[in-house]
Copies of this chain bind each other. A is one copy, B any other.
Amino acid sequence: MTEPERLRADAVRNRTAILRATEELLTRHHPQQISMEQVAAAAGVGKGTVFHRFGSRYGLMRALMQERAQDLEIAINTGPPPLGQGAPPRVRLLAFLTAVVELVARNKGLLAALGPAAPVTAAPEQEPREAHPVYRSWHGHISQLVHQQRPDLDADMLAHVLLATLHSEPILNALERGDGNRLDRTLRDLVTGLMPE
């Protein structure tokens, strides 16, 4: 994927300090209330450092998200069933959805921060706007699994619909209240309706 890109020792130290500080702030505030200056202060660095490393608010959030999603990514690609290869598509999809819901529940505001925070700046008239890598990966995984078992469905759109769940304010609020299992059950019901045993 992306090469490790050799960084200087202090740069590495500050990078993780910034990520940890952001993480910590996100557990206590809604993402839109967190300013980059706050992040810098909480990490004990200057604002310039934050932007030099991450480029923008969006870049920071994306990096954090990628870090959080790494374990799941590995489990899917090289881990054992039911998440990894080996189980039937339906089972893998259900396992994946459960894992994603759990991941998002543990990282409340992060997804919310990523959605709207997409490259809104600069270019005055801009095309569709690429989704961030984690979304792309998840979408690809879901649509592939759906397609394997139900090639007659619009797997691409269905994957978007399932993932849309995680960008919804009311649902994120529900997750914050600990209703993760309700969401998980509902998604299972939906998938089971389309992909019976």
Residues of A within 8 A of B (CB): 29-30, 32-33, 112, 115-116, 118, 120, 124-126, 128-129, 131, 135, 139, 153-154, 157-158, 160-161, 163-171, 173-174, 176-177, 179, 182-183, 185-187, 189-190, 192-194
Interface of chain A, main secondary structure = helix
Contact of A131 among B120, B169, B187, B190 (CB under 8 A): B169
Residues on B with C-beta less than 8 A from A187 are 161
CB-CB under 8 A for A169 and B32, given A157-B186, A164-B164, A182-B154 = no
**A-B CB contact pairs (8 Å), 18 listed:** A29-B125, A33-B120, A115-B116, A128-B173, A128-B177, A131-B169, A154-B186, A154-B189, A157-B182, A157-B186, A161-B168, A161-B186, A163-B168, A163-B170, A164-B165, A164-B167, A190-B190, A190-B193
Residues on B with C-beta less than 8 A from A116 are 32, 112, 115-116
Residues on B with C-beta less than 8 A from A131 are 169-170
Q: Are the CB atoms of B135 and A170 closer together than 8 Å?
A: yes
Q: How many copies does the complex hold?
A: 2
Residues on B with C-beta less than 8 A from A161 are 165, 168, 171, 183, 186-187, 190
